[in-house]
């Protein structure tokens, strides 16, 4: 039994992580930590009281303990692993602390805000035989396997172009996504999804050809577009967090097209449809509902118990953050 605690009573932890965790018999939920004032730079007592109230909601809904301070959870002998749904700029600091306390770490994406920081976390995890897992959960949905199967079977002939878009309307002004100090920005928040998808579809030969990020007056990138390629395929991705909602994939081949909606955000119970158009005919493949968060948690378990799985995940972490940095650097 893997005993797990949560650092930060965030919305995604309450709404998505806990319902998925309850389906995983290999894990035992121990509790959630809210921060002390000293652990949140610039936080007021009112901010901390809000976090405390969220922690109480956790206990009322899911049971478990409430830890006063992130540090106290990490120091607990009752905890084997932690889930970190913190803003991106806080991932490195608290993940490093967790690893130093010999805890396995389940990170929300992105792993950190820089290749250097992720590289250091991977080295520390590897040195201590600890799992370090990044939660790009969409990759575990059945629709991804089906799309890869259709490509391999040349259902639409040779692939010429792949396009993916992920964006959503503007959120509240105080959302961490619009705070540079907390690791805000569209690239780190929603841009990582289509980058990850293209990495799966184009393989290890994929490279970043060009990119453009559009910034606001606070130096936060609100929108971006990237062109990628391997030897035979061109790919284009767009992402943004001040946009009309878009979450789709289109694959253009020599003999037809494949398109799908909700490629990145299929919720539990959602049955995906894949549209295939070839020679003026249309076919729809229905994909069964899936629970990608549960599958990601189970992948985390495999990282904990199996060295080969851990080593593969280490490489994936470094590959993903390197691609993100390449997007930043291309003009």
| Residue from 65, 103, 109, 299 carrying the catalytic annotation | 109
Q: Is 65 a catalytic residue?
A: no
Beta bridge partners of 326: none
**Structure-token pair, residue 14:** 């309450």
105-116 burial: b if 16+ Cβ within 10 Å, else e: bbbbbbbbbbbe
- How many other C-beta atoms are found inside a 10 Å radius of the C-beta of residue 3? 16
Residue where the block lists tokens 């606070």: 218
Q: What are phi and psi of 211, to 5 degrees?
A: -155, 160
C-alpha distances (whole Å) from 55 to each of 10, 51, 93, 270 are 9, 6, 21, 29
Question: What is the rounded distance in angstroms from the CA atom of residue 131 to the CA atom of residue 300?
Answer: 7
**Structure-token pair, residue 134:** 């990044």
What residues act catalytically? 109
């Amino acid at each position: 039994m893997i005993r797990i605690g949560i650092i930060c009573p965030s919305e995604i932890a309450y709404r998505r992580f806990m319902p998925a965790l309850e389906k995983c018999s290999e894990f035992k939920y121990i509790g959630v930590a809210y921060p002390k004032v000293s652990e949140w730079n610039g936080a007021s007592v009112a901010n901390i009281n809000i976090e405390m109230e969220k922690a109480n909601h956790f206990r009322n809904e899911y049971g478990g303990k409430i830890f006063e301070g992130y540090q106290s959870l990490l120091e607990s002998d009752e905890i084997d692993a932690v889930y970190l749904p913190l803003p991106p700029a806080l991932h490195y600091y608290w993940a490093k602390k967790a690893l130093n306390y010999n805890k396995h770490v389940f990170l929300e994406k992105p792993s950190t805000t820089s290749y250097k920081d992720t590289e250091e976390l991977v080295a520390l995890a590897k040195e201590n035989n600890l799992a370090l897992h990044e939660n790009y959960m969409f990759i575990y949905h059945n629709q991804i396997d089906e799309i890869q199967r259709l490509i391999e079977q040349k259902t639409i002939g040779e692939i010429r172009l792949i396009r993916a878009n992920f964006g959503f309307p503007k959120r509240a002004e105080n959302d961490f996504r619009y705070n540079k100090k907390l690791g805000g920005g569209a690239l780190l928040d929603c841009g990582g999804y289509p980058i990850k998808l293209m990495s799966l579809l184009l393989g290890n030969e994929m490279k970043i050809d060009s990119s453009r990020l559009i910034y606001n007056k606070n130096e936060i990138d609100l929108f971006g577009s990237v062109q990628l390629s391997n030897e035979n395929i061109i790919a284009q991705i767009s992402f943004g967090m001040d946009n009309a909602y878009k979450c789709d994939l289109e694959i253009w081949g020599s003999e037809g097209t494949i398109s799908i909606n909700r490629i990145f955000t299929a919720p539990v119970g959602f049955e995906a449809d894949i549209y295939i158009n070839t020679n003026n005919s249309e076919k729809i493949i229905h994909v069964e509902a899936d629970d990608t968060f549960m599958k990601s948690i189970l992948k985390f378990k495999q990282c904990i118990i199996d060295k080969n799985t851990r080593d593969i995940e280490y490489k994936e972490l470094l590959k993903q953050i390197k691609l993100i940095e390449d997007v930043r650097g291309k003009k």
